[in-house]
Structure formats: structure tokens, C-alpha cells
Structure 1
């Protein structure tokens, strides 16, 4: 089996799993937050989410959250400001203000407290504590000593990654040679009841593909851990690191949930495939005996064995496809139905003459117009039927 064929087979398997996971994920009920995402926004400083705030049509939530974040950063950048200067002001009715000395950091309304399910006073106390923590973290992350230490960590992580990839590649090459010398020569065809289920070369190709896939996955995981860890060390790239982690974790979570949801259907499809495969092998074995004359049937010519087997094979596959269709993940989606309809129309338009020729050929076969060994003339050509 060539590398291109193994590559295409691996891509096909990944595509089927991704399709199954995506289709299964559509049926997974994900809890929906009661917070209306369109009228609220997160206040983020250095990638850390402090809290959420509401907005209005005149003052959108995103703009309000950005303004609050800029005020907090401005306070953190001011060396004269101390955390103890944060206080709560309730002098105005219907609003609780978080003040930094004489400067207002933000105003909390009933709608903001509704997001957290608490009263405005309790929320203001939490906000003061959270802002104080962010102020100290912002200043600590920008200290020269902290930046130098984190820079050394980043250099060490880079060297460790390079060394790990080099050692891993070396071990993989040695492992491939070891498996090829010790295991590859001991792999034989897998047979069940005399039928060859999987060839030795195919089994070795599958084993090699699995090893390559594991190595590729290990490299991707190492790169992701490295980038996430290094980018988290510096405040200017911390937000990107958090987004990078979420970018990978969210699809993996969706994929896992979808795969778990589609797992019973996938198991049914695998069992059905195995049953149909062995049923076809048994039927072919039966008709091979009939065609060879080792088994005789009343009013059934041995020459009919091969074409009859082909008809039974097509019929069995069609029945299996009809049984499997409802269990294919995503089969109830409009996209899947539209694709199936389009393929059906294409096959119908392009195979009319082929089907006519097949029917004519089977008609001549079962009417015994020609037999093996007959000499026939078709136009200006003369030949024997073998």
C-alpha cells in the first residue's frame, strides 16, 4: 500500500469521525446562559475577565466595558494610586459608584446586579475587591524582575521544546526500525473461518499509520502547550494565549460531545458493516461452489452463479444502505438530504444507458442465448465466449 493511499485512507477516516462528531454535536443540548450576550460585555484587562456589564442602545455594552477597562489600566499605571483608595459611593439614588479617590471607575445599576443575581451593594463590594487584585497583578507583571524571570522561562521552554522534538524524532526513527525488524516480519494475514479478513501488508500499513498519527498528535500538543505557556508569561500576549487555548479546547469539547452522542449509531454502523461483509463472503463462497459444479441446484445452471451473485450482492448492499441511512450522523440534516438528492439525480441521468445494457445482458444470460464455449459473430468480429 503506497503512502498516498495510506494518506487518503487516513484523511477519509478523520473526515468520517469529524462528520460524525459535528452531526452528533447538533443533537447535544448545551446549557444556555440566561445572560443576553447581545446586551452585555466582559471587562477584560490583560486577558483576565473581571466581570460583565450591561449596555444600552445609546451606550453599547462593548464600549462601556472598554471604557471601564481603560480606567482600570490608567489607575494601575499611576504609581501614586493605591489599592486602599478604592471605595464605594452610594450618595446618588438608584446607583452605586466605585470610586478611586475622586475619580469614578464605574457606576453599577440594577441591570448590572441582575446579571450576577445579587444586589448592587454586594456587587460593588465584589468589584472593588476584583479591581484591587487586577491593579496589583498589572503592576507586578510589568516589574523588570518579573519580565526578566519570565523571559528566562520562555528561553528555557524554547530550548526544552527543541530538545524534546529532536529526541522524539530520534526515538520514532529507532522505534520504526525496531518494529519493522521485530514485528513486521511476524505479522501474518488475519483469517476467520478460512476467509482472509486483513492482509499482512495492510496490517503493517495500519500500524505504521497509527504510529505516525500519534507522533503528529504529540507534536501538535507540544507546540500548543509551548505557545500557551510562553504567551501567558507576558501581559501583552496573555489575551492571545487565552484565546489560543479556547480556540483549541472549544472545538475539542464540541468534537468529544458530538462523538459521544454519535457513538451508539457508529457502533451500529460498524456492526452492520461487519455482518454485511461476512454475509457477502458466505454468499460468494456458496455461488463459487455452484459455479464450479460442486453444489447443484434444481433448474439452476452453473453459468448463472456469477451473475446471480452480483445481483444478490447489489440487493444486499442496497438493503444494508437503507437500514444504515437513519443511523448515519447528520442524515436528517437538510445539507445531507440535498447532497443525497443531487447524487441520485446525477446517477439517474448518467446511468440510463448503462442500466439498459445491464438488463439486456442479464436477459441474454438467463435465457441462455449464449453459453460458455459458443462461437459468436458480432458485426464483423468473430470470437469464442469464455
Structure 2
């Protein structure tokens, strides 16, 4: 009968094992370990070597890493299979060449990077590559060789009967004819004869050929307000000068023909839509040889001065009086030669005279004498002084 044995470790042995575990500082994980966020597990071999550290993030992503690795392995296997197939195809072609099948291209081979073939199937991709490799002159030769007037090839030289384009941007354009319409005597046409334009009635209004140039119509330096306008119509050719934003007061210079002896050239300044009697200006009648002035003389200017002196008391028989008339603005003294003209009008019709005692650029000193045998009654002295240039420049004809 077998004897019963005590398999429990002795107490001393148990204490000794616990002491060794405490002194070694090592732990021996066994079983299933649950790792929470923020926790980790480090495995250290007793004899040194690579350490393994597992934390919550690592443990949580192991499954995804295994799936990624599996996918990479599958992709590598597919690539290896394709490579093996291509190697087999290349080996077949090498075998065909070695077997003498090269006669399928009539014995022609590739030499020094060129192809010497009597026939070649050129794809669109190959054509594009060839054109890109050529310089501009070579491209021009390829794309324009043998063109007719009905062809339209757009490289270097374009030969086309008709091109219908919405927008064309170019640096240089050479053309036999540019026109806005194909209709005769309409629109604008540019050719070797120059630039020509017609209105809606077929009347030519523009001709610029370098010899006989003209543009008809109205020309202005601005659309409105301050501007200069040049225009013609009927028998009148005119230029109007507007010096401000006003469109009424301005200066007009024009010539009105076809009036016989009344043909006139005018330079008029007026403040209405049309010239009127009070508009000042100069009128010249070429057939008459006359010059006329329109408007009224200014009383004070550097050219002339006008004045009158009135005496309501009159002078008795044989009386005389001296008086001085001072100009509102003096005459200029540069090359000035003044010519005064004076007259006396008496209320009773008595004879009375006026003379000049002294004159300067600032005033006139006058003497008025009653030469009659009775009273003059009220009298008026009128005067005008013209200022002429004192220099003589000779004849002009």
C-alpha cells in the first residue's frame, strides 16, 4: 500500500522564494491582463536585450496594424505576379527574335537611336512628341508645305480664305484688306489704298492715303463743356471755342460763302444759342474789300478811350474855361502815340470851341471858349483818344 507524501512546500522554502522575488525587483506576469487608458506593461529579459512595452494605445491598435500588414503582403504578391508575367513576355519576344522572326519588319533594325522603316504607324501621341522636338522653322515647313488658298493651318504662316474669329490677339498683322463689312461703299476699309469710311448713305467721309487726306463731320476735343469744335455744313465752315462748362457763351470763327458780295468771314463772341445784333466781333467781306465791327466800343481800353463832359450852367458871351479830364485807367507808355478828337455841342447852338492845352497818358487838359455873342446855355464836350503804335515797320504789300 503506497505511503502518503506531503507535497506542500516547507515554510522555509516559501519564505526564501518570497525574499528572492522582493530582492530581484522582477515580476512574472501570467494570465490575461486588462490594460486601461494611461496604464502600461514593460517586459525586460533577465539577461538584458530588447525591452517590450505595451500600453493601452499599442494594445488597441494591434488589430489595425495586422490588417495593414496583411494588405501590404497581398499587394506585394500581386506586383510580383505581374512582374513575373512581363518577364515571361519579354522572354517570349527574345525567343522570337532568336528564332528568325525579325523578317516581319523587312530586316530593318534600330541603329543609333533612329528608326529605318519603309512603313511606320505613327500615333497621335508620337506625332505630338515629334512636333515638340522641332524648332520654329522646322514646324513652319511641316505645317505650311503644299497649302492652298482654301487651307487654314495655324503655325508660323496662316493661309486661309476666310477666318471667322471672335477675338484675335496678335503682335503683327499683315493683310491685303481689313473691313467691317463686305458691302461696297459702307463701313470702314483698310488696304493698300489707305483708310476709307462711308456713312449710311454711301458718301465717303474718311480718306487717309498719305496724299489726299480728309475726314468730314464734326470734331471736338471733348464731348461737352470746355472744348473746341470744328465742323462744316452747307456753305459754312466753322470752329467754336468753349472756354468753360457753359455751352452758350463762346467764340465762333466761321466763313459763310455763296452769298455773292455778302460773303463774309466772321469772328464773333456771343452768349446765346445764335448770333444776334449785340454780339461783338469782326466781319470781313472779301468781295467788297471791307472790314466791319459788330457790337459797341468799350469806353476804356489800351487802344482807345471815350468820354464826355457836361456843363448845365453854360457860358456867357466871350467867356472861356479850363478843365482836366483824367482817364479811369492810364494809357500804356510803351510805343504809344495818342490821337485825340474833340467836339462841343451847345444847347442854344452858339459857336463854341475846345482845344487841348496838355495831354499825357493819364489825363487831358482842355480849354473851352464861347466865341458867340450870347450865352451857350448847357453844353457837352465829347472826346475820343486813339492809341497807335509809334513804331513804323514799313509797308506790308
How does the TM-score come out when normalised to structure 2? 0.19
More helix by share: 1
Structure with the greater relative contact order (CA < 8 A, sep ≥ 6): 1 or 2?
1
Structure with the greater alpha carbon radius of gyration = 2
| TM-score (norm. length: structure 1) | 0.19
